[in-house]
Amino acid sequence: MNAQVQAEAVIVGAEIGAGHDGAAELVLTLRYENGATAPVVLDAETGFSLMRNCGAESLADLAGQSWRNLLEGLE
């Protein structure tokens, strides 16, 4: 991605992981403006909210979405 397109952190990967309590979690990989990547772990409710905010029907649909979609609907 060129610097003009990636002006903020974006989701570059998503997978389902097992949480410490056995509940499913959504593990995102974010790529930051400087090219660094890092995981972000979401509980199921937040993960489903993110998918709705992004109009995603599958985890693959999250790729390229802004990290800011995580903030929509959070209180």
Residue 1 covered by a domain: no
Express each pLDDT in 12-61 by its tens digit. Answer: 999 999 988 889 999 999 999 999 999 999 999 999 999 999 999 999 99
Pick the closest to residue 53 from 72, 75, 40 (CA basis): 72
24, β-bridge pairs: 18
Q: Quote the pLDDT of residue 6.
A: 61
- Domain extent at residue 48: 10-68
- C-alpha 74/C-alpha 4 separation (Å) is 28
Count of structural domains, the chain? 1
pTM here is 0.82
Sole residue written with tokens 């693959």: 60
Residue 5 covered by a domain: no
